[in-house]
A = this chain, B = another copy of it.
């Protein structure tokens, strides 16, 4: 029943694996099935028809080419669809199938090695990973921006906001209670497993799971904003913010949830939100568990700082460090990661 675990690899292998698995059709099916995501891009691009008409666009990590085709449909005269994985072959076929090969040029390469003649008027990219920064494709977008984007050119999306809130997790609660329920199921007492189960379930791995509005224990705090026109590689390798929550009422708190939204250029700007208060997306929400659940009451105050950075072992992996105190108590620091 077991899944064998993944191992560390050297950098070259990591990169080649990263690009290979994007060729798996299931990933693209899931991304396209996420209508919140794809329609946000489509709406934002179509609302910018005026700005894109006759212009050159660079699509970073084009995948099946859907965003490039939206740009071509919106009037772009030339789109460079850069895709490092073998899905670029599929993108070529799809683009031909739609008669857009005159406007869209597929470039099979990491964007860092791509040859693009001259400047572009806009960059479009769906680079966001779990917790925004997992897989951190944003560095490729910044590379492309600095190398090819005209001064004042458009970036889709052009802003990202990061949010955090304290949460309860009823699934974890049920899973922890499971062990004391074994007595009633089978007549054997396994309640002593709960402590071990808590260590495994409320681990330092960043979890990805859906959080529902009723599990959010206070107003969320926006702890960082990324302006894609100006942000640097150093900035995104060290994202810091702080928070202060005032809890709604009596509840068990299991951890913090982190999510993001991105905004697109334009006066009537489009927002793609992965908030628990919005529609479900493929990103769900990320969860950072406390070592042990704590009881909070109305007006319990939770203060702290959060830092997000790439893993030292693998720049596509994510480290998150949280330092917090509850009602002015002792500070606790917990370091999380996604990917091993």
Contact with B along A40-51 (1 / 0, CB 8 A): 001000000000
Chain B residue numbers with a CB within 8 Å of A187 are 73
8 Å CB contact of A38 from B70, B186, B192 = B186
* Contact status B64-A193, CB under 8 Å: yes
Number of copies: 2
Contact for A196 among B2, B31, B39, B90, CB less than 8 A:
B90
Question: Majority SS of interface residues in chain A?
Answer: helix
Q: How far is the CB of A335 from chain B (nearest CB, A)?
A: 21
Which of chain B's residues have a CB closer than 8 A to the CB of A28? Answer: 193
Contact A29–B98 (Cβ < 8 Å): no
**Which A174-192 residues sit within 8 Å CB-CB of chain B?**
175, 178-179, 182, 185-192
Contacts of A27 in B (CB 8 A): 1-2
Q: Which residues of B contact A33 (CB under 8 A)?
A: 178
Q: Is A35 an interface residue (CB 8 A)?
A: yes
Task: Contacts A1-B282, A2-B21 given; indicate if A188 touches B26 (C-beta within 8 A).
Answer: no
- Please, which residues of chain B bring their CB within 8 A of the CB of A73? 187-188
Q: Mark A206-237, 1 if CB is under 8 A from B, else 0.
A: 00000000000000000000000000000000
Q: Taking the complex as formed, is A30 at the interface, i.e. its CB lies under 8 A from any CB of chain B?
A: yes
Q: Are A66 and B188 in contact (CB under 8 A)?
A: yes
In the complex, A93 has a CB within 8 A of chain B: yes
Stretch at the interface among A3-11, A110-118, A159-167: A3-11
Contact of A5 among B20, B25, B29, B201 (CB under 8 A): B20
* A77-104 interface bits toward B, Cβ cutoff 8 Å, 1 = contact, 0 = none: 0000000000000100110011000000
Interface status of A24 (Cβ within 8 A of chain B): yes
In the bound complex, CA of A31 to CA of B193 (Å)? 14
A197 within 8 A of B: yes
Contacts of A339 in B (CB 8 A): 4
A17 at the interface (CB under 8 A from B): yes
A154 at the A/B interface (Cβ < 8 Å)?
Answer: no
Q: Which residue of B lies closest to A283 (CB)?
A: B1
Q: Are A192 and B5 within 8 A (Cβ)?
A: no
Q: Is the CB of A94 within 8 A of B193?
A: yes
A265 within 8 A of partner (CB): no
Name A's B-contacting residues (CB within 8 A). Answer: 1-7, 9, 14, 17-18, 20-22, 24-33, 35, 38-39, 42, 64, 66, 69-70, 73, 90, 93-94, 97-98, 129-130, 135, 175, 178-179, 182, 185-193, 196-197, 200-201, 282, 339
Q: A2-B21, A69-B188, A94-B193 are in contact. List 6 more A-B contacts (CB 8 A).
A: A2-B135, A4-B17, A6-B7, A38-B185, A42-B186, A98-B189
A-B CB contact pairs (8 Å), 21 listed = A1-B30, A1-B130, A2-B27, A4-B6, A5-B20, A5-B21, A6-B7, A25-B193, A25-B201, A28-B193, A29-B178, A32-B178, A32-B182, A64-B190, A66-B188, A70-B186, A73-B187, A90-B193, A94-B188, A94-B193, A97-B189
